[in-house]
Amino acid sequence: MRLPGSRRNVEKLVDQHYPSLYRYAYRLSGSAADAEDLTQEAFCHAQSKLGQLRDWDKAKAWLFSILRNAYLHRVRAQKHAPVVSLDGVGDLPERLPEPLPEVDPQCLQQALKELPEAFRTPIVLYYFEDFSYRAIAEQMDLPLGTVMSRLARAKAHLRSRLLAAPAGVPANGTRGAKNGL
Amino acid sequence: MDCKSAHMLLTLARPWAPELDAIEAQALRDHLAGCPACAAEAAREERVERQLGQAVRDVPIPEGLHGRLLHRLADDRAARLRRRMVRVAAVAAALLVAVAVGWYVRWSMRPSVDANEIALLFERRAYNAPVKVEEWFLNQRGVVMVAPTQVNDSPLNYALLDSYEMAEFQGVLVPQLVFFQPGPGAALARIYVLSDRSFNPDETLPASAVGSSHRVEVFGHPDNPHLVYVIVYTGESLQPFFITHPRGA
């Protein structure tokens, strides 16, 4: 369905998607202020390009794609933050303690921030329930196998940083030296 | 299904968004029902995924974000409208300036009356041979024509040729030659060169304009059946426009 760029349609998009879009922006940027800016920027862009949205059912993926482009545009202009290498991280899950420890929100955001964007985006999309592997692949314009490989490594990183037994976690919280993170 | 295959499928399966097709999912369920180790791993995986998923999605929404988004969108719409109006005004102003400049340039470049040039033009165009006339029509007007040289075996006197130009003849632009015989009993003859592509020479009506001071004669080219000459002239005959030879010459 071709949608005219009317105020009502844009507001409908906001009503339906602003929480998930904000959360996605927050997980990408790690900052509430940046997340709000990115969300506003994404909706403004969507408002000006609403004629490109042919299928209302794909509005969420479309908005997420706009927001990611805005984020990438922004980070390219900034100095890159230090990220960890995932070369040494295996696909197999770590041995995890029982019961699982609570996930500390700050540690989670720090662990996400350590990931390169190419790994952070799929893992965030993965945990946003509506995105299938195929949808993530389309969103990132990547082959399905590449997405699954990145997801496995990013999940392993998150598990080792957030859920692994305390004895196996170095004091600084990173496993980069030993595991290639 | 063995444990290795089950483990592989477990890495694909998601507790909230099944990625396996119906056959794979059923095979995995069957295996888990009979394999306590894999069932335990599946349960553990599901707990881990749910916990991490919940943690990733657990982002508090700032208070008033919805209103601020709508406000920003309204501002953005207003800004875009202003930009569009500025663009329209700029285009209109540019058009106005272009029209004004064009009008001024055209007005300032109006040709002046150059009497000398006109005199030279007519001097150049008078006294010409038929071949010169044909060249002029070809080069200046892009028209191929054959200038008349004689009428009924009487040679036209090109010394009397006054001017030539494209002229309208019954709604069609055709070459026109004007001969002028000055002096007492001055006479004027206009010769129109017609092509059978524009006129039907077989249906030429006889000149019967009773009361007109002009006479009309129509004759064809002796060698070219596609050409017709129409002569409109004053006076009693075409004799003044022919070259006369002294008797006995």
Residues of B in contact with A163 (CB under 8 A): 48, 51-52
- Predicted pLDDT at A81: 59
Residues in chain B: 249
How many angstroms separate the Cα of B150 from the Cα of each of A84, B155, B189?
A: 104, 4, 14
Residue pair A22/B48 in contact (Cβ under 8 Å)? The answer is: no
> How many percent of chain B have pLDDT more than 70?
89
Q: Could you tell me which chain A residue has the CA closest to the CA of B68?
A: A40
Q: How many CB pairs under 8 A join A and B?
A: 92
Of A7 and A172, the structure prediction assigns the larger pLDDT to A7
**Which residues 73-92 on chain A approach chain B with CB closer than 8 angstroms?**
91
Test B48 with A159 for CB contact under 8 angstroms: yes
Q: What is the pLDDT of residue A101?
A: 75
B65/A14 Cβ within 8 A: no
- Indicate the angle between helix axes A117-127 and B36-57, nearest 10 degrees: 100
The tens digit of pLDDT for each residue in B105-161 reads: 999 888 888 888 777 766 655 557 899 899 989 998 999 999 999 888 889 999 889
Which one of B45, B58, B68 has the shortest CB-CB distance to A105? B58
The model's pTM is 0.57
CB count within 10 Å of CB A85 equals: 12
Binary contact (B48, A11; C-beta < 8 A): no
Q: What is the pLDDT of residues B193-241, one digit of tens each?
A: 999 888 876 766 655 555 677 888 888 888 888 889 999 998 888 889 9
Q: Are strands B172-181 and B150-151 parallel, antiparallel or unpaired?
A: unpaired
B96 contacts: CB under 8 Å, gap ≥ 6: none
